[in-house]
Amino acid sequence: MVGAATVNGIRLRFGAIDSGSFALMRSGLRWLRPDGHMCCAGEIVAFCNIGFLGQNAPFAAESFDFQVALAPRRAGRIRHGKDVSRGGYLDRLAREPWRAEAEWGYLETAGGGAAEAEDETLLTFYAGRRIADIAEDHSGLLSGWHDRVRTWTGEAGGGTLLGLGTCEQDALLRGDDGSFAAMLAGAKGPVQIALCDAEPLVPSSVVLAEGLVRTPAEVALIREDIMRSFAAGGVAPSGRDWAFIGALLNVLEQSPLNDHYQQVGRSGFRTAGPPEAVCLSLTTELPPTARHKRLGYCLSIHGFRLGSLSPAIRHWLQHNFTFFTRTLADIARDYARLAAGPRQIFVINCMSTPQLEVIQNYSLLDANTRQQLSSVRAKELNLMLHDLERSSGIAIIDADAMAADLGMLAHFPDSFHATGTLIGEMRAELLHQLEAYGIPGFC
């Protein structure tokens, strides 16, 4: 038959991972693409949970949610391997030895000549650090309640990008399926991408700046004060209230900007960090800020969270904190402190173009009215950020201009959340700037 293509096949094997003195275990595979799917080169098609056995095994804080995804190096039609998936919890818990020679799939490729040689699988690692050990969810890739999720490629080297901000950063960095695939595809080499969830706090500049220098002794004082405050009487906290307090303490006890990260790959273990690049959100400066009356530390909490607080938590905040609006000078000072460290700061600015508000002359507004209009506050914050770009080297991801170009009503419909199209534009700009600023793995 004229023009017929010869089909070659590649046996896909797990390949070796240097686990040192530890035994490496895996679960059964869970498939992300059906049998017969035509996949692109490097497209993730399956994943499994992994873990190390042995005394003082690594990844202790992330051992419940430690996973590796598999992808063929080249394009072709993927065929599922036999007996690599067992179903049930055997596909969720790492109970089977990782064998380098084991075949997990078969790739059909078109082309003439003899069958091609066996091809090594591309590995992408994922790890999630739970808010608490009992926050259990094995339903999917990086599923569950984590205070930090991260991914890195199986090759050595590359830099770390850390995301800290509001909800748009989850969509920006992790993408619609939570796999970080779009960001990883935009990288030029090995990289690590981490995303921290600061709930119930908002990672505003003051929360991050205080966390950079908070000592263990100061953390102990905060713990003691909280226990003393609730023991002093008032409204008794419920179990849900203690979960809120525990999550809040979890944020106050950590400094993501100082994190070091353990990694593993084909060539063994390595350590990365602190992050070379940090992506922040200027919208974290919009929520109310509370300062502790005695210890002086600050909390930033979304308005919708404050509105749904229980009587016990509300009583604690009202009697122990003072709520205030931070000045632009305060915010600029904290951003400058963050930018002064050994990291490049990228900031997504505020969406300041209102959908329905029509103000032709802002000078006619009195100070109180200006303070109440979120669009005015957002514009002032954006102007402050442009001044910081010149003085401190902060790089701006101008989401405000992108939203205005695409259309606010169509792509920022509820004034809080962006469409996938707008998120895609923001992601492309972030990748462009990571390359321009020479962040390892992105340039």
pLDDT digits over 255-275, tens only?
Answer: 999 999 999 999 999 999 899
Same domain, residue pair 341 and 432 = yes
DSSP 21: T
Looking at the domain assignment, is residue 239 inside a domain?
no
User: Which residues span the domain enclosing 401?
Assistant: 205-214+255-288+325-436
Q: Stretch 1-5: mean pLDDT, rounded?
A: 42
Give the pLDDT band (50/70/90) at residue 113. very low
Question: Which of the listed residues 61, 95, 125 is the one where a domain comes to its end?
Answer: 125
Looking at the domain assignment, is residue 96 inside a domain?
yes
Same domain, residue pair 279 and 424 = yes
Q: What are phi and psi of 284, to 5 degrees?
A: -65, -15
Same domain, residue pair 117 and 209 = no
| pLDDT value of position 355 | 60
Same domain, residue pair 209 and 64 = no
| pLDDT value of position 294 | 96
Q: Stretch 300-322: mean pLDDT, rounded?
A: 93
Q: Stretch 308-315: mean pLDDT, rounded?
A: 93
**Number of other CB atoms surrounding residue 220 within 10 Å:** 11
Average pLDDT over the chain, rounded to whole?
90
Same domain, residue pair 409 and 282 = yes
Looking at the domain assignment, is residue 67 inside a domain?
yes
| pLDDT value of position 7 | 58
pTM: 0.92
Which region holds residue 154: left if phi is over 0, alpha if psi is between -120 and 50, else beta?
alpha
| pLDDT value of position 3 | 42
| pLDDT value of position 158 | 85
DSSP 121: P
Alpha-helical segments (H) within 283-419:
303-307, 311-320, 328-339, 367-372, 374-392, 399-406, 408-411
Give the pLDDT band (50/70/90) at residue 369. low
Q: Is 313 exposed, middle or buried (0-12, 13-18, 19+ CB in 10 A)?
A: buried
Looking at the domain assignment, is residue 237 inside a domain?
no
The pLDDT of residue 206 is above 60:
yes
Q: Contact at 8 Å (CB) between 157 and 189?
A: yes
Beta-bridged to residue 109, according to DSSP, are 8
Looking at the domain assignment, is residue 161 inside a domain?
no
Q: What are phi and psi of 28, to 5 degrees?
A: -65, 160
Least confident interval from 133-147, 199-213, 365-379: 365-379
Same domain, residue pair 402 and 273 = yes
| pLDDT value of position 273 | 81
Looking at the domain assignment, is residue 71 inside a domain?
yes
The pLDDT of residue 112 is above 60:
no
From CA 46, how far away is CA 256, in angstroms rounded?
30
Residue type, 137: D
The pLDDT of residue 63 is above 80:
yes
Q: Contact at 8 Å (CB) between 334 and 382?
A: no
- Three-state DSSP class for residue 198: coil
Question: Which of the listed residues 84, 102, 125 is the one where a domain comes to its end?
Answer: 125
| pLDDT value of position 115 | 47
Looking at the domain assignment, is residue 195 inside a domain?
no
% of residues, the chain, pLDDT over 90: 73
Q: Stretch 248-257: mean pLDDT, rounded?
A: 94
| pLDDT value of position 280 | 97
Q: Stretch 285-314: mean pLDDT, rounded?
A: 93
Question: Which of the listed residues 125, 159, 188 is the one where a domain comes to its end?
Answer: 125
pLDDT (tens digit, 9 = 90+) per residue, 114-170?
444 556 899 999 999 999 888 888 899 999 899 999 999 987 778 999 999 888 899
From CA 436, how far away is CA 443, in angstroms rounded?
7
Looking at the domain assignment, is residue 319 inside a domain?
no
Same domain, residue pair 112 and 210 = no
Same domain, residue pair 271 and 384 = yes
Same domain, residue pair 280 and 379 = yes
The pLDDT of residue 5 is above 60:
no
Same domain, residue pair 117 and 260 = no
Residue 128 or 112, more confident: 128
Number of domains observed in the structure of the chain: 2
From CA 58, how far away is CA 118, in angstroms rounded?
31
DSSP 299: E
Least confident interval from 121-125, 138-142, 179-183, 359-363: 359-363
Q: Stretch 84-108: mean pLDDT, rounded?
A: 93
% of residues, the chain, pLDDT over 70: 92
Q: Is the peptide bond before 200 cis (omega within 30 degrees of 0)?
A: yes
Least confident interval from 7-16, 82-91, 192-201, 338-347: 7-16
Q: Stretch 60-74: mean pLDDT, rounded?
A: 94
The pLDDT of residue 1 is above 60:
no
User: Tokens in use for 395?
Assistant: 């790089």
Alpha-helical segments (H) within 42-84:
none
Give the pLDDT band (50/70/90) at residue 178. very high
